[in-house]
Amino acid sequence: METKIFQPNQIDEAAAAIQAGELVAFPTETVYGLGADATNEAAVKQVYLAKGRPSDNPLIVHVTGEDTVKQYAQPLSAKAEALIKTFWPGPLTLIFELQPGKLSKAVTGGLTTAAFRNPDNQVTLDLIKAAGVPLVGPSANTSGKPSPTLAKHVYHDLNGKIAGILDDGPTKVGVESTVLDMSTEIPTILRPGGVTEEQLEAVIGTVRSNHHKVGKGEIPKAPGMKYKHYAPNAQVTIVDDEADWPAALAWAAQQDGTIGVMALDRTLASEDLPANTEPFSLGADMDSASHLLFAGLRHYDLESPVTGILAQGFAAEGLGAAYMNRLNKSAGQQHFTK
């Protein structure tokens, strides 16, 4: 199969591929998603095959608004309505109990719930409308690898495995959506993301955080809770404290190969980088670091291969919770120690 790059003026062609049961990657404000008709079980199963994704890892259903959700989910609560009004379209995924038989187990991972999101990207919203169906849309990468924030990242992983990629340039947020389980008595964050716990609580009151890694025999209710994620080819090591960078760079200087250094501009400017390091700027602050995290990991896989990566850590607060959730999984919880 030849994977075609669709431009935004070719949405009708991309939508026709979706309607024919084929897979088309699409842009969102977070990362690129791998799209298939959520009502076509055979097409959904092809998503798992293309990604090499475990079949008990549920998929997020992308919609153009609340009306589509109501066709599949049980009646929405007042809290759900308030969240949709406040944060959609945007980087918030909501999990609801389903009406019986409304979506295939291939979408839900065999659960009675499903996750829904209204992405904040007009090209993709136009694609969903043109296709006339909601789209499943896990990140458009090989399972376990860093999520794609550019069309070329998708092409690297999935060329020849999918029909096309709808290219709308770089994504804006850079880390995936917050996943909030609305099927529990107290709404529960299963994956931190672009909408913070504080923002959610400002709208609906108390929420819980439960983004642990589920056990071997459990079925995850949201992506990223069970399996290895976001890992580049080289081992990532997190440098938690800015005061630890001199020691971390001294360690890097002693290594035989090239070591990647992903850090803020002020860190890169203030430290003497060893000759065997390859820097990648995470920008000026936490917001830019979240936006550039996956791009940096992909940079070392695709453009500047290294034997190890040192990455800047942050406090797991606000957007930092999403950043550190992804970075810890990328590093396999490996942190630099003196």
Q: Is 300 annotated to bind ligand?
A: no
Task: Please enumerate in sequence order all residues whose Cβ is within 8 A of that of 328, keeping only pairs 6 or more positions apart, or say none.
Answer: 238
Please state whether the peptide bond connecting residue 89 to the residue before it is cis, i.e. omega within 30 degrees of 0.
yes
In the numeric block, which tokens belong to residue 200?
Answer: 């959610």
- Tell me whether residue 266 is annotated as binding: no
Is there a contact between 26 and 129 (Cβ–Cβ < 8 Å)? no
Question: According to the annotation, is 184 in a ligand binding site?
Answer: no
Q: Does 211 belong to an annotated binding site?
A: no
Q: Residue 270 annotated as binding? A: no
Name the helix (H) or strand (E) containing 267: helix 265-270
**Block residue for tokens 């002693």:** 254
Q: How far is CA 146 from CA 94, 205, 266, 325, in A?
A: 23, 33, 25, 13
Give me 103's structure tokens. 């979506």
User: Does 177 appear as a known binding residue?
Assistant: yes
Annotated binding residue 139: yes
321 closest CA partner among 197, 187, 145, 144: 197
Is 117 assigned to a binding site? yes
326 is in an annotated binding site: no
Binding residues: 30, 53, 57, 62, 113, 117, 139, 147, 177, 191, 230
* Residues in binding site for ATP: 53, 57, 113, 139, 147, 191, 230
| Bind-site residues for L-threonine | 30, 62, 117, 177
